[in-house]
Amino acid sequence: MVSRTPLLPPPPSPDHTSPNAPRLRFSETAIHIFGYPTDQGDEVGVIAFENASAADFEFLSLDRTSINTPARFPEQNAENAFCTSLLSLGGRRWENINRFQHVLSAIAFDELILEDIQYGTITTPTSVERRWVSVAHPFWGGVCIPEIPRRLPELGDFDEQSPEEDIILDRRAILRLALNMDEKAKLLVEGFNGKLYKQWMRLKALSFARKISAAHKQNMDLAS
């Protein structure tokens, strides 16, 4: 890894109370969705949903045929309801969008981000932050959830990633082919070791969506 002077702290994320706070962010390979909950003094400024599919857009009633990037709802009650829907799909609570992006960049082995983590400019991503989770709510009820760890050996995370886990993570793009929650649930069960939970277990099954704080002090586990 090439040594360099660590970056200055990044500029602040978009103001979550701004009417222009972005709903979507595009990259070459993924679309991320954001919601902006009411500020409750808990260091949570954004709900971020990673790598959305057509089925997720349908579930969230987002237009997937428009090239215009939407913004948050102007009414906070409507925005809070949208955040609840994001959480039910596996969205996570973050301090800001920058933290979400830094964790994804570290997972993708971005050398500049990894070096900033080693310098202490950016806090090391926790195992909970790095974990990949996907959720589907099929028509017949219940909820389907797979979870797979994503490790960072360059930061001292030397637990071995199983070949099966590597294969599963490498084929996540197939989920974009799902047009509805039934198709997504089928893919999660057949190709991603998704676990099926009964309807009454949904809140327990979705406990992974608990807060990820800026200091990363909480010891959070996914529901088993």
What is the number of structural domains in the chain?
Answer: 1
Q: What residue numbers bound the domain in which 82 lies? A: 24-209
The rounded distance, in Å, linking the Cα atoms of 67 and 72 is 16
In this structure, is residue 145 part of a structural domain?
A: yes
In this structure, is residue 96 part of a structural domain?
A: yes
In this structure, is residue 15 part of a structural domain?
A: no
In this structure, is residue 106 part of a structural domain?
A: yes
In this structure, is residue 17 part of a structural domain?
A: no
The rounded distance, in Å, linking the Cα atoms of 112 and 24 is 24
* pLDDT over threshold 50, residue 155: yes
Burial class (CB in 10 A: 0-12, 13-18, 19+), 61: exposed
33: phi then psi, degrees, rounded to nearest 5: -115, 140
* pLDDT over threshold 80, residue 207: no
- pTM for the model: 0.79
pLDDT tens for 166-203 read 888 999 999 999 999 999 999 999 999 999 887 544 44
In this structure, is residue 220 part of a structural domain?
A: no
